[in-house]
Amino acid sequence: MNLALPLLPLALLFPSQGAGDSKAGDRKQPEQTSSGLHGYIGYEASPPADRSEYGMGMGFYSAAWSLIDKPIAHFQIGLASGWILPDNRDNKDKPLAPEGTLARTWKERGPTWDSVFQTVEGGLGYWARSRFRYGPPKFSMNATPQCYDYEVGSPGWSFFYDTEALPDNRLGIAQLSNRLLIPPDALPFEGSPNGQFLGYSYMALPFTDPVPSADGKAPTGAHAWTCFLSTANFKGPIAYYIPETWSKIADIFDYPFLHGRGLDSRQGLMGGGAMEINTVPQLVASARDGVRYSRIPALRFPVDQRGQAVLVQDVTYYSRKALYDAFLAWRLGGSAPSGKFDAAGAFVAKLSTRTPGFDQDGKPIDGVASTFDTKVFDDNTWGLEWKDSDHAPRGQFPQYYRHDGERRVAVSPSAVPKDTGLHAAEFKLAKPGEPFTSPSSGAWTTPDASTDAQQVRLCDGSLATYRWYRFVDQPSFVQYGWSAEKKAALQAFVEKLHRAWPIDRDYMAPPTRGKLVKLDPALLVTPPKGLEVGYVPIVTRQERAP
């Protein structure tokens, strides 16, 4: 799988920001720009021999840690995450991206545009447009159902691109957990994680029956890609992508070729994962002799005494036997399964890796490989191994670079002249952003919530406002106009799920090594009396706490 998904032109959105015109003597202060580091630190995960069988779910454990000491503005790095695509390997030459979509303009993705048609991504990370930064990373769902025309990152909002909720007809996530809030600015963690693991898996589950094509409209499959988390204080499913989220692109663009080709009908493909280094600020200055230097923020990794940092483990592909079959039998009247993923339907991938490359201002960087390299360790975990180097201490990405023509060369801090001002200069810090808001009309109020608003303060300094909705009355479902019978059946089944699946049971197999990270305890809520099953807490607003 091609991991190099297209990066948004954030450098255009966040142009060079000077550190001011104040002078040290007769010299200007270093200039801050947005293109200090770019690249991927990735791994490959070997699929099973019969890949067509093991496409009903994918998951792994990813390390969570504070990559930076302070919340820096215009900073975006995803920690080790993955991408899931619909399996369209049978299509060799016909475009999956209709004319008029954003991805169709990326000609290099042709002739099929399969890598940018639909994706499930997100994961752990820092994002340039996050409104409430607090130091450690956060976890967010995310998906691109329509060739990157828009993204769906929470039950109401896109992936940080707008503070206003998505239009009613673009809502795509159904909140499933009745014990966990999913705020639009992503899920924060308790304390300051330092290498503890977050487990997450996406499983295709049949909450509803397939819908055949009628009157030329697109058919819809039964695959509801459901996000399961495994943490020290919460385990289980949190939300799923409603199948119509994927199928409706065919009707929107009147393109019947897409019938049955979305993630609602197709199995998923995930060939590996990566840390995606997207937008990192840099400070740039010239020494008295005219040589240019640059500095990026200190990027630190959770290394052990051997200089090793384990970032990913237990990458697993799942077949129908893992959960789908038992889940379907339960919905059709059978007994409730435990929800634990059956090992008989699990394939643990063999990991491999390669030395990554990086660039600054589009120019290749030399010297990083002498500081660390990626490695698959003896227990089939993947991460980084540091070497003895003058460029940076163990566990830290090189921070300083000398500009040598068309290349950037990593150097030690002592090799940078003090008269550049780079050692003392500060990066611009992030400030709380505008509130995330939802409308007081449309799907958010008809049908209305079952309770008045409640509020909770999160550890990222934000205040989350939420209301309890009956499961099938939450905003994401309103656009479809389902029959009363279909809604009643789904509602009754979710009530069974709330009764049968607690939040302290292992659904994913426990991690091979290490401890689990803790979510911010403020995210954990208790249903009001009388709404213990069949109701879910939907965040309606997130703002800076007083």
pLDDT value of position 48: 87
Rounded to whole angstroms, the Cα distance separating 63 from 515 reads 10
pLDDT reading at 7 higher than 50:
no
Res. 24: pLDDT tops 90: no
Mean pLDDT of 211-234: 96
Query: How many independent structural domains does the chain possess?
Result: 1
**pLDDT interval class at 29 (50, 70, 90):** confident
**Domain assignment present for 419:** no
Residue 372 located in a structural domain: no
**What's residue 8's pLDDT?**
40
Q: Does any domain span residue 358? A: no
Q: Which domain holds residue 540?
A: 31-39+58-281+431-544
Calculate mean pLDDT across residues 95-110. Answer: 98
Q: Which residue's structure tokens are 């025309």?
A: 149
Instruction: With H, G, I as helix, E, B as strand and everything else as coil, classify residue 480.
Output: helix
Averaged pLDDT score across all residues of the chain: 93
pLDDT value for 232: 98
444-to-142, 154, 175, 448, 455 alpha-carbon distances in Å? 21, 14, 14, 6, 17
267, part of any domain: yes
447 preceded by a cis bond (ω within 30 of 0): yes
Report whether 316 contacts 47 (CB < 8 A).
no
**249 within a domain of the structure (yes/no):** yes
Between CA 448 and CA 373 the distance in angstroms is 53
Residue 49 neighbours by CB under 8 Å, 6+ apart: none
Do 194 and 66 contact (CB within 8 A), yes or no?
yes
Residue 50: per-residue pLDDT: 81
How far is Cα 475 from Cα 482, in angstroms, rounded to an integer?
13
Residue 269 has pLDDT above 60, yes or no: yes
- Report if residue 363 sits inside a domain: no
Residue 325: inside a domain: no
Helix (H, G, I), strand (E, B) or coil at 325: helix
Q: What is the pLDDT of residue 412?
A: 96
Query: What pTM, to 2 d.p., does this model score?
Result: 0.93
Could you tell me which residues come within 8 angstroms of residue 138 by beta carbon, excluding any fewer than 6 positions away?
Answer: 124, 125, 126, 130, 185, 186, 187, 188, 189, 460
Place of tokens 């660390």: 372
8-17, 91-100, 514-523: segment of lowest average pLDDT: 8-17
Whether residue 104 is predicted with pLDDT greater than 80 in this model: the reply is yes
In a domain, 212, yes or no: yes
Q: How far is it, in rounded angstroms, from Cα 544 to Cα 463?
A: 6
Give the tokens for residue 524: 């954990």
